[in-house]
Amino acid sequence: MTETTRPRLLLLDGHSLAYRAFFALPVENFSTATGQNTNAVYGFTSMLVNVLRDEQPTHVAVAFDVSRQTFRTEEYAEYKAKRNKTPSEFSSQLPLIERMLDSFSIRYIKYPGYEADDIIATLVTQALADETSGLEVLILTGDRDSIQLVTERSTVLYPMRGVSDLSRMTPAFVEDKYGVPPHRYPELAAIVGEQSDNLPGVPGVGAGFAAKWINTYDGLDNVIAQADKITGKKGEAFREHLGDVIRNRRLNALVRDLDLGVRVDDLVLGEWDRSSALELLDELEFRGELRTRILDVVAPGEDAPVEPGIEVDGTTLAHDTVAAWLAEVGDATVGLSVRGSWGSGTGRVTGLALALADGRAAYVDVEAMSVDDDAAVAAWLSDPSRPKVLHDAKGPLLALTAQGWSLAGVVEDTALAAYLVAPDQRSYDLADLSLRYLHRELTVAEDDDQGMLFDEDANLSQAAMVQARAALDLSAELADEVEKAGGRGLLTDVEMPLVGILAGMEQTGIAVDIEHLEGLESHFGDLVREEAEAAYAVIGREINLGSPKQLQVILFDELGMPKTKRTKTGYTTDADALQKLATTNPHPFLLHLLRHREVIRLRQTIEGLLKTVQPDGRIHTTFHQTIAATGRLSSTDPNLQNIPVRTEEGRRIRESFVVGDGYDSLMTADYSQIEMRIMAHLSEDALLIEAFRTGRDFHAETASRVFDVAPEDVTPEMRAKIKAMNYGLAYGLSAFGLSQQLGIDPGEASGLMTEYFETFGGIRDYLTGVVDEARRTGFTETIMGRRRYLPDLTSDNRMRREGAERMALNAPIQGSAADLIKVAMLRTDTALRGSGLRSRMLLQVHDELVFEVADGESEALEVLVREQMAGAADLTVPLDVSVGTGRSWHEAAH
DNA sequence: ATTGTCACG
DNA sequence: ACGTACGTGACAATG
């Protein structure tokens, strides 16, 4: 222990290393849930810790460039001019690297007007000047200019490929590789040139000749002085480009005497800041191997390198012991995992796993419970003062309800929490979240007792308890994240209470007139056959009309029609393109094909619906609360949010959704122009607000203002144009998109947009402001504070960037509308319960709610629903609700 | 598993 | 020069 380690100074060129890492590591594999890219941070950190581990330096510093403007660009404007603009995906990672260094107590140094190399050169010079210290110097850099700093006591470590191979440049190595000693390397570079710095050298002269000259004449100065003596083409070229060479030499000389205000002694490696380092590793989602390696290096032996999986201490409770266990739990928060099944309006529970923060856990075999156990479980589940945490509570809730239990006291739903924190994820799988936020594997330890029989039941109950524990642990972790994202109110007051409502709607389902649906199926089936045969007759053979590939052969090869817009694999045959073809070339095949598409689609929709009708004669969809990044719900199995409505034929399908037995009618209530109203509210555009306050036809009102005519003089054409414009606004519309929508030319569409924005300046200002702010903060926000992260706003890829800009325009509008109708559902549900009405909510279709009306409740329900929907938010414009009632969904909509 | 198409708000 | 409106889900064809 008394042996003194030899002092070693490690200097890193932060910029060049991070830049290399940025290009070496695929960005897709290195980004966090919120979209922060981490490839440069990862690669830099990885190189840093490897060198810390392998070289054991006592002193460390990292040098950074401040900007591209340096004394070199002052002197020679073309210096590094050929380099592409620094991608913002890279720049955004530099502050993270600095935080990483702070947490490791590693100094980083910048000096305006100079490059990182100059800082390193200065420190190397200082370190070598003090010969008594015997300080050894290591320079980790991706910039070859530093080779001039190599001496017997200073070595350059240069990354060869990617971020893992380091080449150790000692004087002997440099001499061997380049043919000149290190201090002469910049002389050689001056002759050869440096492409990455945009410093052209002597054409036709490579490193070999340059080294020969330098050695023969003893240095570049002498080569220049005796330039006449060099014969041949190369000599001629050298004389001709002498100016470049002299300039190169001046620029590639590193500055060694900057006044940094830091001495080598100040660079002693200090104590790391454990909590900020761990926090940053979590934030960057660095786990697994790198996390282990980092912790091993900066804090050897301090943190167990291998993270254990989630563990619980519990077994299946014996018969008649559940009540006692639950009594012992008291009012502690319990992680709850429900085993069983649910869906299609039914469900059942086979087991319950409970876990506590101290590791205790229990599994209840619901199928083998005593009467007392059952009562105890029922009481605990329904007691709102016994707090519970679940992951994705809707399914469990459905199963418990089907079992005759009620559930109360759910204080956190970890799936919803994770969704609010990062709404763009595909899934919120418990195991993934455990890894991401807890850095724990969600696997059950294998039973290694050889003598024991494999007990499947024990494993299942163990897995359930582990999941219960994971949900509990996650809730603590995610609560912080939700707080940080400002999502607590939304989670507690909106998303979580909505779970019960959605479960109820799914369980209730909507009644279907099967005979009517079957009648439509055969009707459209007939039409499908007719159209197919007519199409075959035209071309003289049978093809698969559903195959875009076969259609392309017929349309573009055999019928010789003009090629449409390209897709990845060929040319599009979508309805839009075919419609366009048909206007110039009304070939009968095209017409039959289009009609065939239409009717086969309707038939398919009907067939799909028929397959999902349950024995109770109703369809029970599943609503998803964590799919749409904007905050909307989605619906599957079947999707009841895309039942046809736009054509008369399609609407006939809605005749099949009918009032169920024991009820009087269906009622639908929808918000009119909800998105434009939100736009008016958010933009505070006075004219738009006024247009809504008149209460008259909104599109006509706005058209009258844009075209500056009296409302009664607005023509249908004017109204149609402004309507398309109004709808397009929230989508980030382009002149092209608008022209496509309206079938006018892009120039006219562009003029229309200009007119519109001149009239509604507040909207234009709002829209540009939204994108600017999102670019600054990294996210957009709805009226209720729902965030969507859009890292691509700063992408260098134009497509991605512009795509993100359109999402930024749309997310606050669509998302606020989603917030609003969710609040309306909560208010309506509460009011319904309080009113004693029997009517019930069945469906939500983004801006519409569908109810089943009990006998004699029609008027009361309408009043209640109108009041609760209109009062869901206090906007600067009124929320208009239109309501209709009928025997079917189709009738109700009239 | 991905692509193309088309239904909805 | 290039692609072109936001958000979903279902189905069939095709790799």
- One DSSP character per residue, A273-290 reads -HHHHHHHHHHTT--THH
Question: From the Cβ of A573, is strand B under 7 Å away?
Answer: yes
Instruction: Say yes or no: Cβ of A553 under 7 A from any atom of strand B.
Output: no
Closest residue to B5 by CA to C1' distance? A574
Rounded to whole angstroms, the Cα distance separating A605 from A618 reads 16
Q: How far apart are CA A798 and CA A769, in angstroms?
A: 20
Task: Count other C-beta atoms under 10 Å from residue A894's C-beta.
Answer: 9
CA A30, distance to chain mean position in Å, is 13
The H or E element containing residue A539 is helix A514-539
The separation, in Å, between residue A862 CA and nucleotide C7 C1' comes to: 29
Could you give the CA distance from residue A628 to residue A782 in angstroms, rounded to a whole number?
A: 14
Give the pLDDT band (50/70/90) at residue A125: very high
In chain A, count H helices and then E strands.
Answer: 37, 25
Find which nucleotide's C1' atom is closest to A569's CA: B3
The torsion angles phi and psi of A137, rounded to 5 degrees, stand at: -120, 135
How many Cβ atoms are within 10 Å of A798's Cβ, its own excluded?
8
Are A179 and A207 in contact by the 8 Å Cβ rule? The answer is yes
C8 C1' to A705 CA distance, Å: 34
- With a 7 Å cutoff on the CB, does A848 touch strand B? yes
Cα end-to-end distance, chain A, whole Å:
89
C11 C1' to A611 CA distance, Å = 14
pLDDT at A304 over 70: no
- What pLDDT, on the 0 to 100 scale, is given for residue A733? 87
Within 8 A by CB and 6+ apart from A499, the residues are A393, A394, A397, A410, A413, A416, A625
Dmax over CA atoms of chain A, in Å, equals 112
Residue A567 approaches strand B within 7 Å at CB: yes
Residue for token pair 């007139």: A513
Cβ proximity of A117 and A194 under 8 Å: no
CA A425 / C1′ C2 distance in Å: 30
Answer whether any strand B atom is within 7 A of the Cβ of A580.
no
Chain A residues 765-824 within 7 Å (CB) of strand B: 814
Does the pLDDT of residue A452 top 70, yes or no? no
Q: Is the separation of the CB atoms in A611 and A637 below 8 Å?
A: no
Q: What is the DSSP string of A79-138?
A: TTTTSPPPPHHHHTTHHHHHHHHHHTT-EEEE-TBS-HHHHHHHHHHHHHH-TTT--EEE
| pLDDT tier at A211, thresholds 50, 70, 90 | confident
Find the mean pLDDT for residues A207-216. 85
A641 CB-to-strand B distance under 7 Å: yes
The per-residue pLDDT for A305 is 42
CA of A556 to C1' of C1 (A): 26
> In this predicted structure, what is the pLDDT of residue A444?
57
Within window 817-846 on A, which residues have Cβ closer than 7 Å to strand B? 845-846
Query: Gap from A520 CA to C15 C1', in Å?
Result: 35
Q: pLDDT band for A302, please (50, 70, 90 cuts).
A: low
CA distance A456 to A462: 10
A642 beta carbon to strand B: under 7 Å: yes
Beta bridge partner(s), residue A155: A138
Segment A295-307 mean pLDDT: 65
Residue labelled with tokens 């091993």: A296
Tokens 């619901």, residue located: A366
The backbone torsions φ and ψ at residue A308, rounded to the nearest 5 degrees and listed phi first, read -75, 160
| Share above pLDDT 90 across residues of chain A, in percent, rounded to a whole number | 67
pLDDT at position A4 is 53
How many whole angstroms separate alpha carbon A18 and alpha carbon A94? 8
Comparing A838 with A306, which gets the higher pLDDT?
A838
Closest nucleotide (C1' vs CA) to A746 is: C4
Check pLDDT > 70 for residue A447: no
Residue nearest to nucleotide C2 (CA to C1'): A799
Alpha-carbon distances of A124 from A57, A120, A174, A188, A257, rounded to whole Å: 14, 6, 18, 21, 10
Quote the tokens at residue A11: 């200097």
**pLDDT tens digit sequence for A807-853:** 999 999 999 999 999 999 999 999 999 999 999 999 999 999 999 99
Q: Could you give the CA distance from residue A148 to residue A372 in angstroms, rounded to a whole number?
A: 84
Q: Which nucleotide is nearest to A650 (CA to C1')?
A: B7
Count, residues in chain A: 894
Cβ proximity of A413 and A626 under 8 Å? no
The C1' atom of C3 and the CA atom of A573 lie apart, in whole Å, by 18
d(CA A128, CA A740): 70
Half-sphere exposure of A771 (CA within 13 A, CB side): 20
pLDDT for the residue numbered A458: 81
pLDDT score for A1? 39
Which residue in this structure is represented by tokens 């497509």? Answer: A799
Q: Is the CB of A644 under 7 A from strand B?
A: yes
pLDDT at A196 over 90: no
Span CA (A798) to C1' (C3), Å: 10
Query: What is the spatial distance, in angstroms and rounded to an integer, between the CA atom of A808 and the C1' atom of C6?
Result: 9
User: From the CA of A284, how many Å to the C1' of B2?
Assistant: 31
CA of A593 to C1' of B1 (A): 28
pLDDT on residue A3: 42
CB atoms within 10 A of CB A672: 12
Q: Is there contact between A645 and strand B, defined as CB under 7 Å from any strand atom?
A: yes
How far: A611 CA to B6 C1' (Å)?
20
Give the distance, in angstroms, between residue A610 CA and nucleotide C8 C1'.
Answer: 22
Nearest DNA or RNA nucleotide to A568 (CA to C1'): B3
* Cα–Cα distance measured from residue A40 to residue A22, given in angstroms and rounded to the nearest whole number: 4
Q: Per the structure block, which two tokens stand in for A577?
A: 């393109």
Q: In the structure, how far is the CA atom of residue A865 from the C1' atom of nucleotide B4, in angstroms?
A: 41
DSSP sequence for A388-442: EEESSTHHHHHHHHHTT-----EEEEHHHHHHHH-TT-S---HHHHIIIII----
Taking the CA of residue A598 and the C1' sugar atom of nucleotide B4, their distance in angstroms comes to 15
- With CA of A572 and C1' of each nucleotide, the nearest comes out as B4
Which bases on strand B have an atom closer than 7 Å to a protein beta carbon? 3-9
Nucleotide closest to A642 measured between CA and C1': B8
State the DSSP H helix or E strand holding residue A619, giving kind and residue range, or none if neither.
Answer: strand A618-619
Looking across all nucleic acid strands, the nucleotide with the smallest C1' to CA distance from residue A601 is B6
Protein-to-nucleotide distance from the CA of A760 to the C1' of C9, whole angstroms:
36
Give the least confident one: A45-49, A129-133, A594-598, A804-808. A129-133
Phi–psi pair at A661, nearest 5 degrees: -55, 140
Q: Under DSSP, is residue A705 helix (H, G, I), strand (E, B) or coil? A: helix
pTM over 0.85: no
Closest to A410 (Cα-Cα) out of A421, A422, A395, A425? A395
Instruction: Tell me the C-alpha distance between A300 and A84, whole Å.
Output: 41
Higher pLDDT, A852 or A278: A852
Q: Which nucleotide is nearest to A647 (CA to C1')?
A: B7
From the C1' of C12, which residue's alpha carbon is nearest?
A: A546
Q: Is the CB of A598 under 7 A from strand B?
A: yes
Asked if A400 and A338 count as a contact pair (C-beta separation under 8 A), the reply is: yes
Q: Which residue has the least CA–C1' distance to nucleotide C13?
A: A547
Tell if A574 CB is < 7 Å from nucleic strand B: yes
Reading phi first (left if > 0) and then psi (alpha if -120 to 50, else beta), residue A613 is in beta
Chain C nucleotides with an atom closer than 7 Å to a protein C-beta: 3-15
CA distance A375 to A394: 23
Q: Alpha carbon of A375 to those of A368, A372, A404, A518: distances in Å?
A: 13, 5, 11, 46
> CA nearest A629: which of A785, A393, A788, A431?
A788
Q: How far apart are CA A815 and CA A421, in angstroms?
A: 15
Paired with A410 in beta bridges are A388
- Nucleotide nearest A739, CA–C1', reads C4
Nearest nucleic acid nucleotide to A813, CA to C1' distance: C6
pLDDT at A576 over 50: yes
What is the arithmetic mean of pLDDT over A558-569?
A: 87
* Separation between Cα atoms, residue A308 and residue A19, nearest integer Å: 35
Q: Is the CB of A677 under 7 A from strand B?
A: no
The nucleotide closest to A735 (CA, C1' atoms): C4
> A509-553: per-residue pLDDT in tens?
999 999 999 999 999 999 999 999 999 999 999 999 999 899 999
Are A778 and A34 within 8 A, CB to CB? yes
d(CA A729, CA A105) in angstroms, rounded, equals 50
**Which of the residue ranges A277-281, A317-321, A474-478 would you say has the lowest mean pLDDT?**
A277-281
Considering all nucleic acid strands, name the nucleotide whose C1' atom is nearest to the C-alpha of residue A567: B4
CA distance A688 to A676: 9
Distance CA A360, CA A518 (A): 55
Q: Give the nucleotide at minimum CA-to-C1' distance from A630.
A: C7
What SS3 class is residue A66?
A: coil
Q: How far apart are CA A400 and CA A416, in angstroms?
A: 19
> Between β-strands A107-110 and A59-64, what pairing exists: parallel, antiparallel or unpaired?
parallel
Measured CA A574 to C1' C9 distance, in angstroms: 18
Q: How high does pLDDT run on average in chain A?
A: 90
Q: Could you tell me the two tokens for A723?
A: 């309507």
- Closest by CA to A863, choosing from A871, A259, A139, is A871
CB A777 within 8 A of CB A485: no
Count of CB atoms within 10 A of residue A422's CB?
20
pLDDT of amino acid A448:
43
Give the pLDDT mean for A497-503: 97
The separation, in Å, between residue A863 CA and nucleotide B7 C1' comes to: 32
Place of tokens 């055999």: A558
Residues 153-212 of A, Cβ under 7 A from nucleic strand B: none
Query: Which residues put CB within 7 Å of chain C, the nucleic strand?
Result: A 544, 546-547, 549-550, 604, 607-608, 611, 624, 627-630, 632, 634-639, 641-642, 724, 727-729, 731-734, 736-738, 740-741, 799, 802-803, 806-807, 810-811, 814, 846
SS3 A678: helix
pLDDT for position A136: 92
